[in-house]
Amino acid sequence: GPDVEAWKGRFVRIWRRPFTNVVSGAGGHWELVKRETPGRIVGVIAVTPEKEVILVKILRVPLKQYVLECAAGLPDHPGESEEELAARELLEETGYRCDKLEEVACGPQNSGLSEDVIVFFLGTGARKVAETAHEDAEDIEVITIPLANLEHYLRNPPDGMLVDLKIWALIPFLDRA
């Protein structure tokens, strides 16, 4: 049968999706989150000409902790391409603009909880061009890390900061920077 809405909030809804276990044949309902904004989430990992990686330290309320992440955002401007969204989010969150954006990876980011799929762009030639323009709920600090020190930094983040695992998945693409 179809999904059944169980709860609606301002930004997300909780749905119950019927399924049948392929091994046992038993049926059930899976609870999942759907965002109000349709489309893929877009992220960007940017590198400067001096080989510094541009990341953001952001307060994530569900974790009650700061998390080191790539700049990212939801497709909330109709008609905007994913590449345009990547450029806009990078500029808004970090003040950087890239000479080139290249799509490097995409996939689900929490497949047991949501339908969300994220697509990542590698940004090269990143240069600081503006001050940041953070939204009301965003507590963001720009972190620049020399590429040569990135893995050490990720293994030893300061002040109990958590590291988004997706950064680790993007390291092989940084050789292109």
Name the maximum alpha-carbon separation found in the chain.
Answer: 57
- Which residue ranges of the chain lie beneath pLDDT 50? none
Query: Among the residues of the chain, which ranges form H helices?
Result: 82-94, 150-155, 165-170
**Residue 134: its pLDDT value, please?**
64
For residue range 97-107, list pLDDT tens digits in order. Answer: 999 999 999 99
For residue range 80-118, list pLDDT tens digits in order. Answer: 999 999 999 999 999 999 999 999 999 999 999 999 999
Cα gap 68→59, rounded to integer Å? 9
Torsions phi, psi of 2, nearest 5? -80, 165
Q: What's the burial of 118, exposed, middle or buried (CB within 10 Å: 0-12/13-18/19+)?
A: middle
Closest CA to 46 of 101, 85, 88: 101
**Residue 139: its pLDDT value, please?**
87
| Model confidence pTM above 0.85 | yes
